[in-house]
Every structure is written in C-alpha cells, then in structure tokens.
C-alpha cells in the first residue's frame, strides 16, 4: 500500500520532522512511503496513494487521488478539507482530536490569568522601567475563583478547560449541541447553541473551543459582543473564522468588552496592518496553544495506531463526521 505524508508549513513547528517520517517507514516496512515537503510535491505524489497522513488535501489533490481511501490529520481541525467533493466522496477522514486538549486548556488558563492579573500592563511597564503599581491597581485585578466562565464547545478541549476552571473555583457554563450527553467534569450548566444570547451576559470569561463548521462561522459577532459584560474577556483557541475580527476590534476600542486573548485568526500570520496588534486589551499568541513538547511523537503515535487498525480491518479511531464537520 502506498502512503503519502504531506505535513508541511512555512513554520517549522508545524512541519513533521524527518526523524518521525523515518520512524514510520521503519515500523511499517511493508508499505511504500512517500514524503511531500510542499503543495506541489503533494500534488505530484498523491494520484496512486491509498492513504494520506496530511493536514490538508486540496480539491485538486482529491481530484487526482484515484485510489485514496483514508486521510488522517495530525490536528483536530479538518474544516478546510470538508469541501463539497470531499464530503460526497467515499474517503474516510480521521483526526487527532484530544491530543492537544490539556496543552490548550493550560494555555486558556495562562492567558485568562494574564489578563485578569494585568500581566501585559506589567510587562509594558517593565520595558520602560516604570514602577506602575498605582496604574495597574487602578485597573483592578480579578480572580478565576468566583468568576463565571462560558465554554463554547465541550469537546476534548472545552472539557479540559471546564475542568480546570471549575477546580479554580469558577462557575462553568458549557454550550454544546448534544445537551443530553454525559456531563463534562466541572460543568455546572449545559445549554444548547441557540441559548448563547441568554448566557453571554452572565459570563466573565467566554472561551471559544467549538469546531469550525458552517453553523459556527461568525458565531461571535457584533450582537454577541454587545451582549457580553463590559469587563468580560474573550478567549479564542478554536479557529479565527468563529469570531468577527472587525466587530471585535470595534468592541475593544469602544469598550463593549474588557479584553481578548487570541491564538487563532482569519488570516495567519496575522497581517501587520491588523488593528488587533495595537489594542491594549488584546493578548496575541501566534497559533501556539496546541503545540506540546512531544507534539510529533503524539501525532505519529495516533496515526500509527490507526494504520495498524486500517491494515487489519478494525474500526478507526477519531472518525470525522464529514457532514457535521468534526
């Protein structure tokens, strides 16, 4: 069987290391391995492969992939692959959901605490050697204990966030489609997506952890931002397109909300002319919340387990519902 590894990026952290490619070749010598280091090479190599270990298969690549049966993504998000032709095809997609849940939950805690404890202001003051005690105390510090945290999406990431927030004393409200599903640890209340407007006004922190689907695109727009508390914090670790960035910039300038911690954006890298860079209430991280120290060990381990299952005809792990989008 021919297998294509096509995990490439302009950024080194998101490129599979060569050592992990060689490890897969060594562990599965009965397969023929191909490694594409860019889009053009992937297009050339994909026509006769049965399996693709790839974070992106384009329309053109799918049209060329005459024998493709299964795609495994090294990340949880697969929304960019769910174009019409893919959804209508017989190609199975699996992903690596859950792999980065703990890492991303810790990131959410870190940025929430940073904004609550005015760490960005302290860092700015440090660079100019100003003792800004009065200025920072005038802004006021806050605690997670006693705060209401709204987690939008209770998959692996949202559930990990909810558990940690609850253990620090927050009252956690979760939003998910399947309200009747077993409760996530630490979630005091679960409501469906159509009740978002009802619960937004109560939240001190709003964490966006839902998958990117047709239904969630633009989930947080002008109306939702206006419904939030004037000092509420928005944290987005999902996908940029779930938040209307223009509306968010306006909300921050006009102080509809208190601040935002953003790890994902509509365009990445975030363009230098984006107004978000210069807003004092924004904490920007460059899409790093999901990267863990052993990231590629974990990603290849999940794929290897699924490849063993694929070889032996067993059910695959983490099969994506292509119609639902996750």
Separation CA 93–CA 231 (nearest Å): 41
Contacts of the segment 85-90: beta carbons below 8 A, 24+ positions apart: 85/59, 86/57, 86/59, 86/62, 86/322, 87/322, 87/323, 89/62
- 267 contacts 241 by C-beta, under 8 angstroms: no
Active-site residue flag, 39? no
Catalytic residue among 59, 195, 268, 308: 268
Active-site residue flag, 8? no
Return the residue matching tokens 């800004």.
132
Q: How big is the chain by its Cα radius of gyration, in Å?
A: 21
Separation CA 276–CA 253 (nearest Å): 10
Active-site residue flag, 239? yes
Where on the phi/psi map is residue 146: left (φ > 0), alpha (ψ -120 to 50), or beta?
left
Catalytic residue among 8, 239, 245, 295: 239
Catalytic residue among 35, 164, 176, 287: 287
Active site (catalytic) residues: 239, 268, 287
């Amino acid at each position: 069987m021919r297998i294509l590894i096509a995990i490439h990026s302009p950024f080194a952290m998101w490129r599979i290391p060569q050592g992990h490619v060689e490890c897969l070749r060594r562990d599965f010598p009965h397969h023929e391995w191909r490694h594409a280091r860019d889009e053009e090479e992937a297009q050339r190599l994909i026509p006769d492969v049965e399996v693709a270990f790839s974070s992106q298969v384009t329309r053109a690549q799918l049209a060329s992939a005459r024998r493709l049966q299964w795609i495994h993504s090294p990340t949880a998000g697969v929304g960019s692959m769910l174009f019409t032709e893919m959804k209508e095809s017989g190609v199975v997609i699996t992903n690596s959901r859950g792999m980065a849940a703990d890492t991303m939950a810790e990131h959410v805690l870190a940025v929430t605490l940073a904004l609550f404890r005015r760490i960005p202001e302290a860092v700015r003051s440090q660079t100019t050697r100003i003792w800004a005690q009065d200025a920072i105390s005038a802004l006021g510090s806050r605690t997670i204990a006693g705060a209401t945290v709204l987690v939008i999406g209770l998959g692996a990431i949202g559930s990990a966030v909810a558990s940690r927030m609850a253990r620090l004393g927050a009252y956690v409200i979760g939003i998910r489609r399947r309200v009747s599903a077993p409760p996530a640890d630490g979630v005091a209340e679960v409501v469906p997506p159509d009740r978002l407007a009802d619960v937004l006004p109560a939240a001190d922190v709003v964490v966006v952890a839902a998958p990117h689907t047709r239904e969630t695109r633009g989930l947080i727009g002008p109306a939702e931002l206006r419904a939030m508390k004037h000092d509420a914090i928005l944290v987005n670790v999902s996908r940029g397109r779930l938040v209307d960035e223009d509306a968010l910039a306006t909300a921050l300038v006009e102080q509809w909300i208190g601040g935002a911690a953003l790890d994902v954006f509509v365009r990445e890298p975030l363009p230098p002319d984006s107004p978000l860079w210069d807003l004092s209430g924004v904490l920007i991280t460059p899409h790093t919340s999901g990267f863990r120290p052993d990231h590629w060990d974990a990603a290849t381990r999940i794929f290897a387990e699924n490849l063993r299952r694929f070889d032996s005809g067993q059910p695959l792990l983490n099969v994506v519902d292509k119609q639902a989008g996750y």
